Structure 1
Amino acid sequence: MSSYAHLLPPSWKPQVTAWLAEDTPSFDYAGFVVGEAPRTATLWGKSEGIIAGRPFFDEVFTQCGCAVEWHAEEGSRIDLSASPDGKIKIATVTGPARGLLLGERVALNTLARCSGVATQSERVVAKLRKAGYRGVLAGTRKTTPGFRLVEKYGMLVGGADGHRMDLSAMVMLKDNHVWSRGSITEAVAAAKAVAGFSVKIEVEVQSEAEADEAIAAGADVVMLDNFTGDGVKIAARSLKQRWAGKKHFLLEVSGGLREDNVEPYVCNDVDIISTSSIHQGVPHVDFSLKINH
């Protein structure tokens, strides 16, 4: 299997440069204190979770003149059950003392956040699979400005779908678009006029009747937004039966779904369950970096 790092665009390394510039915009006073003496540091995993974000961690330290040797794979689980002191060695970082401390906080913050997203993604995917769901769990575009790439990457490592990456990746016509254009049919027609054959069109709907209109207009994906669990099951079954052999479309369910309330929505007439709860406000995985004495 290819590394998830192979997904990353050419523009991602300058993002790391910007993070480092934000953290040290002028003088590195503490770096003056420790100087360039060669040192070795250990990255410790201190809470259970999925490891995600190795490329970003590596690049932070590369730009600080250090090297990283990993002792755990991307996507592997930190298991503290066999650790008497509550921590596990995840990686070894070598380089000048100043470089280690220059990159420490940026690298740890990125790894902790990315791993937290991966961990929560994996938890919700596992819960849905246990409930018998065969479809896709997806994130949303409710990501942190400037940090979207890391959060979407974490979703993928955790086994979830990243959903659309940005406004250019897919046309999503929500209630504001429809109200502004006049109708679902007019909004879909306008989108088709410019999006071309390669860009999918999704329409958010509030009722089964609106779903029928979206499907008839040629929507590729129909999102049942803020339905109840029973409402989803009834509408999804009805729509799939009524349009069988006439129009191909995917059904997505969204709206306030979380790990603790998603199970009633499990229905294999639904192709995608999307939620921001796998990346918004999720707990970080705890890591620390300690220079070896």
Structure 2
Amino acid sequence: MYDRFMALKLIELWLAEDIGNYDLTAQLMVDPSASATFYMNAREPITVAGIEVAATVFQHYDPRVEVKIQAADGQQVDKGTLLMVVSGPAQSLLTAERTALNIIQRLSGIATETRKYVAAIAHTKARLLDTRKTTPGLRMLEKHAAACGGALNHRLGLDNGVMLKDNHIAVCGSISNAVARARQAAPALTKIEVECDRLEQVREAVAAGVDVIMLDNMPIPEMREAVGIVAGRAQLEASGGIRLDTIAAIAETGVDFISTSKPLQSAPAVDIGLDDSF
């Protein structure tokens, strides 16, 4: 779920960026009194994400626009599925069209790509996590899209949990010291995660009583060994170099989570159209 107040702020920026002072073409070519109805549809099979955001783009630009949403975020739809019907002043519909399409195509692209990764590990206990490698300014929406595709959200921001990486550990001198310092000051219910790229670090992290161990860029045989070492005393997250063609084998090692930025960073925008007939 995303923050709708923040989404409205973003929509204002998007519209200002695209329109400038005014939509010259719509002003010149469309009678101000003209009305129209357009149909938003999927031009390929997709997992929907951002349908309410796209609807809000139209209504925020012109409250007179009537929107009928026909699909839900997280829904998998076939080519040709009707997603939304928008009716109202023709000038307004044409002016807001590209902004609305841009965001739903981007977010649905992330959701659709994420769904592929989720499906690849569905036969295991592992769950897919997203990352903080998001487009600046679009994090909450891109993470919403990842969730629509079946992933779980990792940290939304740096204030959402303690993750001790190699440089944090180096500053503190050891994993044990770093964990002890974090335990001393962190809120009582905050989970502590430690990044490990060697098995000896995994052993130290378990001994320190961490909640989650990230196996960073660790070869699959070592991941299996790490699962045995931990033996359920902490949750295990595999990360680094995750690809669609490798994720199943990683999940089969017995890890609890697999985090990857691939669906967020490399997902192509899906093909969604806004037509005058359906």
Q: Same fold (TM over 0.5)?
A: yes
Provide the residue aligned with 1:190 in structure 2: 181
Provide the residue aligned with 1:67 in structure 2: 66
Q: 1:172 to 1:35 in 2, by over 3 A?
A: farther
SS of the residue corresponding to residue 159 of structure 2 reads coil
Provide the residue aligned with 1:17 in structure 2: 12
Matching residue's letter, 1:211: V
Structure 1 position 38 matched with structure 2 position 35: yes
Over the aligned positions, Cα root-mean-square deviation in angstroms equals 1.9
TM-superposed deviation, 1:158: 1.0
Q: Residue deviations 1:256-289, cap 9 Å, x none?
A: 1011111221236311111111211112210111
Provide the residue aligned with 1:277 in structure 2: 262
Q: Residue deviations 1:95-136, cap 9 Å, x none?
A: 21221122111111110111111111111111111xx31121
Structure 1 position 176 matched with structure 2 position 201: no
Q: Residue deviations 1:170-216, cap 9 Å, x none?
A: 11111122223322222223323332113221111111211122222
Provide the residue aligned with 2:92 in structure 1: 99
What is the rounded CA distance, in whole Å, between the counterparts of 2:81 and 2:187 in structure 1? 51
TM-superposed deviation, 1:251: 0.7
What is the rounded CA distance, in whole Å, between the counterparts of 1:78 and 1:158 in structure 2? 12
- Check conservation: 2:67, 2:86, Cα contact below 8 A: yes
Structure 1 position 251 matched with structure 2 position 244: no
Provide the residue aligned with 1:228 in structure 2: 219
Q: Which runs of 4+ in 1 moved over 3 A?
A: 7-10
Provide the residue aligned with 1:210 in structure 2: 201
What is the rounded CA distance, in whole Å, between the counterparts of 1:145 and 1:259 in structure 2? 25
What is the rounded CA distance, in whole Å, between the counterparts of 1:93 and 1:165 in structure 2? 33
SS of the residue corresponding to residue 280 of structure 1 reads helix
Q: 1:35 to 1:166 in 2, by over 3 A?
A: farther
- Check conservation: 1:135, 1:268, Cα contact below 8 A: no
Provide the residue aligned with 2:54 in structure 1: 57
- Check conservation: 1:35, 1:96, Cα contact below 8 A: no
Provide the residue aligned with 2:148 in structure 1: 157
What is the rounded CA distance, in whole Å, between the counterparts of 1:14 and 1:45 in structure 2? 27
Q: Residue deviations 1:6-33, cap 9 Å, x none?
A: x535332222222212222323322312
SS of the residue corresponding to residue 39 of structure 1 reads strand
SS of the residue corresponding to residue 157 of structure 2 reads coil
Structure 1 position 48 matched with structure 2 position 33: no
Provide the residue aligned with 1:113 in structure 2: 106
> TM-score, normalised to structure 1's length?
0.87
Provide the residue aligned with 1:260 in structure 2: 245
> TM-score, normalised to structure 2's length?
0.91
- Check conservation: 1:229, 1:265, Cα contact below 8 A: yes
Q: 1:12 to 1:199 in 2, by over 3 A?
A: farther
TM-superposed deviation, 1:232: 0.8
Which of 111, 128, 143 in structure 1 is aligned with 2:121?
Answer: 128
- Check conservation: 1:118, 1:158, Cα contact below 8 A: yes
Q: How many residues are matched?
A: 274
What is the rounded CA distance, in whole Å, between the counterparts of 2:153 and 2:40 in structure 1? 28
What is the rounded CA distance, in whole Å, between the counterparts of 2:185 and 2:7 in structure 1? 29
Matching residue's letter, 2:43: K
